[in-house]
């Protein structure tokens, strides 16, 4: 039973979430980003510092919440000996903050994994293409009460709150996982000694993998012991997907650069006994730049299995320890 509650605890800590952050920040917002830059600004591949860039594998995770505090040393000073169980992990790396009156907990997780062989290529002085293949996951949660969050933090079997009816009304959980393949084409629209404008368009083919959502405006929960719980709800909405959905979405971006004197970025090139003036592509030429992009314009639709429905329930002494789930 302890292992099952530990699994539920970690699930709640890692998945009661809301997602808004972009991944790979610090990497994908510069002219040296290569193919990774198309995630935030499709036009970044135009006038790139690279002729060709290929990704072996990259993955980025964003996590944020307003209750569970994770010590940065869990990443900076990783030690597998401190992960033997949840209690040791909590003692070494976790703490909590006090919530204000009426404040509810939210947590956020967003993952993007750029799979091997995603690439970008410069076609000439004015155009570029990219192919970007990703697996993406988003999980979000809302309306988690302080008592429920405290129970999750303490492994659910938490004597101060045992046999206490916890009001979890207003809770909602959603998750979505999909794979996408994007083809980007970009081009220089205007170029002068001072002004430079480039734009790009990405068409994406998306394949939905998994979708789940649950919510309730009338939900109460109590833990009787380390092996049984009670819960009561008059309206619990629940859905997960039966099959994947396929869809097309698009991204688009435009970048303006105000540049200094381009003569500063030219050199004399000797080629076949001829000398001519050429522009250096290995340096940034702008004094400042402004970019605008529209990302992930589209939607998914999923069908749920026939036996998945919303429900109401009044369950007492549900023995989780002896329940068997697939």
Which residue from 144, 141, 140, 139 is spatially nearest to 169, judged by alpha carbons?
144
pLDDT tens readout for residues 116-150: 899 999 998 899 999 999 999 999 999 999 999 99
55: CB partners within 8 A, 6+ apart: 34, 35, 36, 114, 115, 116, 117, 118, 119
pLDDT at 236 over 60: yes
What CA–CA distance (Å, rounded) separates 181 from 193?
Answer: 36
What CA–CA distance (Å, rounded) separates 253 from 170?
Answer: 38
Q: Report pLDDT for 181.
A: 94
Helix (H) or strand (E) holding 152: helix 146-153
Q: Which is higher by pLDDT, 180 or 2?
A: 180
Q: What is the mean pLDDT of residues 6-10?
A: 44
DSSP state of 73: H
Q: What angle do CA 173, 179, 180 make, to 5 degrees?
A: 125
pLDDT tens readout for residues 19-48: 345 677 777 777 788 999 999 999 999 998
């Amino acid at each position: 039973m302890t292992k099952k509650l530990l699994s539920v605890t970690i699930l709640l800590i890692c998945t009661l979430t809301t997602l808004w952050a972009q991944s790979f920040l610090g990497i994908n917002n510069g002219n040296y980003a290569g193919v990774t830059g198309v995630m935030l600004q499709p036009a970044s591949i135009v006038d790139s510092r690279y002729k060709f860039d290929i990704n072996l594998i990259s993955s980025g995770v964003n996590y944020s919440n307003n209750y569970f505090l994770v010590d940065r040393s869990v990443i900076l000073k990783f030690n597998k000996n401190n992960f033997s169980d949840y209690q040791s992990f909590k003692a070494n790396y976790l703490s909590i903050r006090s919530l204000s009156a009426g404040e509810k907990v939210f947590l956020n997780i967003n993952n993007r994994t750029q799979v091997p062989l995603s690439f970008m290529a410069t076609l000439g002085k004015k155009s570029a293409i990219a192919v970007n293949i990703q697996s993406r996951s988003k999980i979000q949660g809302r309306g988690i009460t302080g008592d429920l969050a405290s129970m999750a933090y303490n492994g659910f079997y938490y004597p101060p709150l045992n046999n206490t009816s916890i009001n979890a009304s207003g809770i909602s959980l959603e998750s979505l996982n999909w794979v996408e393949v994007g083809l980007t084409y970009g081009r220089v629209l205007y170029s002068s000694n001072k002004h430079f404008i480039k734009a790009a368009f990405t068409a994406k083919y998306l394949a939905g993998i998994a979708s789940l959502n649950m919510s309730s405006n009338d939900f109460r929960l109590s833990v009787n012991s380390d092996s049984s719980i009670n819960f009561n709800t008059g309206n619990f909405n629940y859905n997960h997907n039966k099959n994947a959905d396929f869809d097309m979405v698009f991204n688009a971006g435009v970048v303006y650069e105000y540049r200094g004197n381009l003569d500063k970025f030219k050199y004399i090139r000797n080629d076949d006994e001829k000398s001519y003036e050429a522009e250096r592509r290995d340096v940034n030429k702008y004094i400042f730049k402004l970019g605008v992009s529209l990302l992930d314009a589209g939607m998914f639709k999923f069908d749920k299995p026939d036996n998945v429905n919303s429900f109401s329930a009044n369950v007492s002494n549900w023995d989780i320890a002896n329940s068997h789930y697939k």
